[in-house]
Amino acid sequence: MSRRSKPRPVFFNLTQIQIPVGALTSITHRVTGIVLALGIPFGFYALHLSLASAQSYERLTQMANTGLFKAALILFIWALSHHLLAGVRHLLMDIGVGSHLAAARRSAWSVNVGGFLMALLAAGVVL
Amino acid sequence: MQRLSAVFMLGFIVFVLVHFLIDPPHSYEAWRGWVGSTGVSVAAVLFVVALLSHAWVGLRDVTLDYVAPLAARITTLSLIAAALLAVGAWAVRILLLGRG
């Protein structure tokens, strides 16, 4: 029973390891969740600036014109889009829609591509 | 819980996006007036509650998956809980002051 009795094979040729598309969607859902959680204080700070006074509102609109802000915004929109689409995919699977492998793989592709397209759309609007 | 908060947030996000497409606020006064209206304020506070409880469940699951030692778990979860509560109090304050 000891785990050490039988050394497990080590396979570390990264170019040959295949990640199923569903696994990619799943881990990205998790990573984007963490990214979005880390973004909460920044979002609330922006909300604060937008509401506190006319001057701070003005400052926020100036900040919004910087490259760093735009890059962060595009990253945020990608993370939110991916997380949201992957979440809707889970909800649909909960009620039995698309939980078979072929459909699940198709929807996983749609989520990954859809998140990316939303980021492109955001980049088009922001830049 | 995770699903309920997700569905509420999805609805709120769609509502805000639609408002910005139909009638985007172009000035500080218009923006503040819209956020400060009773319906939007109540929905926004509910959104903050949904967001933070959603973040709590997600970050708790991630912590339990990757942080094994009990002491480290307790420390990590306490820090996350404290941060979320602090940030939540701040957000409610921002929204309430926005009404004044």
State the complex-level ipTM. 0.93
pLDDT score for B3: 92
Q: How many Å apart are CA B26 and CA B23, to the nearest integer?
A: 9
Using a CB-CB cut-off of 8 Å, the residues of chain A touching B63 are none
Residues of chain A with pLDDT under 70: 1-4
The answer to whether B32 contacts A48, with C-beta atoms less than 8 Å apart, is no
What secondary structure letter does DSSP report for A16? T
Amino acid identity of residue B81, one-letter, is A
Q: Which of A36, A41, A57 lies nearest to residue B28, judging by beta carbons?
A: A57
Domains identified in chain B and CATH numbers: 2-99 (1.20.1300.10)
Searching chain A, which residue's CA lies closest to the CA of residue B96? A51
Q: Domain residues of chain A, as ranges?
A: 66-127
Question: Per residue in B31-78, pLDDT tens?
Answer: 999 999 999 999 999 999 999 999 999 999 999 999 999 999 999 999
pLDDT score for A1: 47
Share of chain B above pLDDT 90, in %: 90
Q: How many Å apart are CA A55 and CA A75, to the nearest integer?
A: 27
Q: Which of A37, A50, A54 lies nearest to residue B55, judging by beta carbons?
A: A37
